[in-house]
Structure 1
């Protein structure tokens, strides 16, 4: 791996049984990195582990609820004992609720925050317990455009992602104060085609869907691995929609409030009526015993982008700058002639 990433031998991916975590584990495995796969569902974990083996790398699947700190501590010990020193820890696990805030029960909101926000806190704490003493290592926090701009029907998720930003910024300042060589970066994602829309708890009248434009999880995985390669950057924004959302919220947040109030309900639901009797994964994994493997992608592949030019340019800013400089020089030379 280029730059800082060439030293990575052991990586940890939380939420590795499906979605973005699953795609990220596959990509890391192709680089020969041993990977600890952390998630709640056994079926998805076993399938992810098989993909890592098929790519020629070594998996360590561990069933763990990231909301339970003691379970995360135990997982960290196993990783260090069985795979070796942890070089890279990627926090990606989450759960949430699709519903208006006032229709989300207090215990559901708390659970979503414990998995999505405190899960990152627990993972970061365990990673640092090993990395700090060695004075090396990288932590990647998988964020979202919704970490900077809340939208209706996802108050729990937006609140958790906002909290992760504040927590990570505080931690980064402390590491800089200590002169630590441990690096922490964030990767903020757009709407991604993952199985979350089939297994999150939903009280919406119609089946939930991501707000277009939608990207395949492999786009997110490439950005996450790219961030691990170059972790000294504070954060990465993936997809033009993420860039526009974050920047627009800085300039005209009130206008976005009104726009999302008008469009945010319809844009997050398909025309298909919701099945309110289907099970969800808020409290228990759906890919546990008797479940099935959900994989990385959800049901919106026909509408999803497999590439993001903006994400590539974000990871290769020097190349892009050189290209722009060369183009400008060429135009200047042409005008002179």
Structure 2
């Protein structure tokens, strides 16, 4: 029997890519989103890929709409096997430039939308004691960056919520699994249609990845949900590791580079739509698809997700590599380490350089004291 999968935020971006990937598996895919034109195009994608689509217009910020959509999915497609929470919204602006009602709306869609999805899924999975919930997160669930305070806050909230839910399911010895996928910067239409008060056009912090890479990770997580979470992309792993080691230094680095790295250098278009309150792919809009406007810079593949899936086999090699890297860092002058502008890989280099300088300074102080 083909699986029954529900995808929120299915009309564009990562949600659209996930829906299409499940279509290639021949799955029955319930598509939740607000945008009618985007939903219709997503349904056609699933159908052409070999799956069975079901369009379910819904605003995930409203639990009643999500619950009705879940009921329809089971009535028309069958028992839900996998629920994938993707839908989100955001505002690109300094915190002081975001209005209270906009902050509330971002939180309701991005955080409460995941809560509502999980509630609707669990209400139907618990009687069967079976099913999987995949929360599509971000590196920003751990590491806040400037100009996206509302989004970062919501993603941090999802992280805490999912951990609490997972603990409860483990306590109950439940057959239901929940896992989280932390994504890097992805080339999606969000930079074309999100509300922005930046002087220049918004962009993802490089390196940028294509939504299909994210979709493959989501499907893998749904197939192997016993792991509590998955990191996707070398930049995600590098950023989260640097944040765990030296968060204060990362604060200062992002304060210097985070503003420029999230803007293209081109003036913000006055005519750019803002889908915070109304969908940009609604009746008066058009279908935006899975990809954004950064195809030329975006990477379709990355070695990190492959290594992550086989992390046990790689552990011994990584241990040896880390030891070798430590020895190399000791021989390397901190001034030789230069972060690449706008790069998350540069974050690690910058942090490493500052750590080396602090270590060297501490050694000098100790030696001076011994004299």
Give the TM-score normalised by the residue count of structure 2: 0.84
Structure 2 match to 1:116 = 110
Equivalent residues of 1:145, 1:245 under 8 A apart = yes
**Aligned counterparts of 1:162 and 1:186: Cα–Cα separation in 2:** 12
Residues 1:64 and 2:58 aligned together:
yes
State the 1:32 CA deviation.
Answer: 1.0
**How far, CA to CA, are the matches of 2:15 and 2:314 in structure 1?**
28
**SS in structure 2 at match of 1:303:** coil
Find 2:193's aligned residue among 162, 176, 199.
199
**1:82 match:** 76
- Residues 1-337 of structure 1: pairs in structure 2 closer than 5 A: 9-317=3-311, 320=314
Distance 1:245 1:8, change over 3 A: farther
Contact 1:43–1:291 (8 Å) recurs in 2: yes
Structure 1 or 2, whichever has the larger Rg, is 2
Q: CA deviation at 1:315?
A: 2.1
Structure 2 runs not aligned, ≥5 long: 319-371
Report the Cα offset of residue 319 of structure 1: 6.0
What is the CA–CA distance in structure 2 between the aligned matches of 1:226 and 1:316, rounded to whole Å?
Answer: 12
Match of 2:290, SS state, is coil
In structure 2, distance between residues paired with 1:321 and 1:271: 41
Measured after TM superposition, the shift of residue 275 of structure 1 is 1.8
Distance 1:225 1:161 in 2: 20
Higher relative contact order (CA 8 A, sep 6+): 1
- State the alpha-carbon separation in 2 of the partners of residues 35 and 320 from structure 1: 35
The answer as to whether partners of 1:189 and 1:238 remain within 8 angstroms in 2 is yes
Superposition deviation, residue 97 in structure 1: 0.1
Alpha-carbon offset, residue 321 of structure 1:
6.3
Deviation per residue, 1:75-123 (Å, 9 max, x gap): 0110010000000000000000000000000000000000000000000
Shift of residue 251, structure 1, vs aligned partner: 1.1
CA 1:17–1:58 in structure 2 vs 1: closer, same or farther (change >3 Å)? same
For the 8 Å contact 1:117–1:160, the answer to whether it is kept is: yes
Shift of 1:276: 3.5
Q: CA deviation at 1:320?
A: 4.8
Task: Say if 2:11 and 2:42, in contact at 8 Å, map to a contact too.
Answer: yes
Alpha-carbon distance in 1 for matches of 2:267, 2:57: 33
Q: Does the CA-based 8 Å contact 1:313-1:320 persist in structure 2? A: yes
- Does the 8 A contact of 2:82 with 2:131 survive in 1? yes
Q: Deviations over 1:192-240 (max 9, x none)?
A: 0000000000000000000000000000000000001100000000011
Equivalent pairs counted in the alignment come to 320
Q: After the TM superposition, which parts of structure 1 deviate over 3 Å for at least 4 consecutive aligned residues?
A: 316-322
Question: Once the 2 structures are TM-superposed, how far is the Cα of residue 317 of structure 1 from its aligned partner?
Answer: 3.2
Query: What is the rounded CA distance, in whole Å, between the counterparts of 2:309 and 2:26 in structure 1?
Result: 22
Q: TM-score, normalised by structure 1?
A: 0.92
Equivalents in 1 of 2:41, 2:51: separation in Å?
14
Q: 1:308 to 1:186 in 2, by over 3 A?
A: same
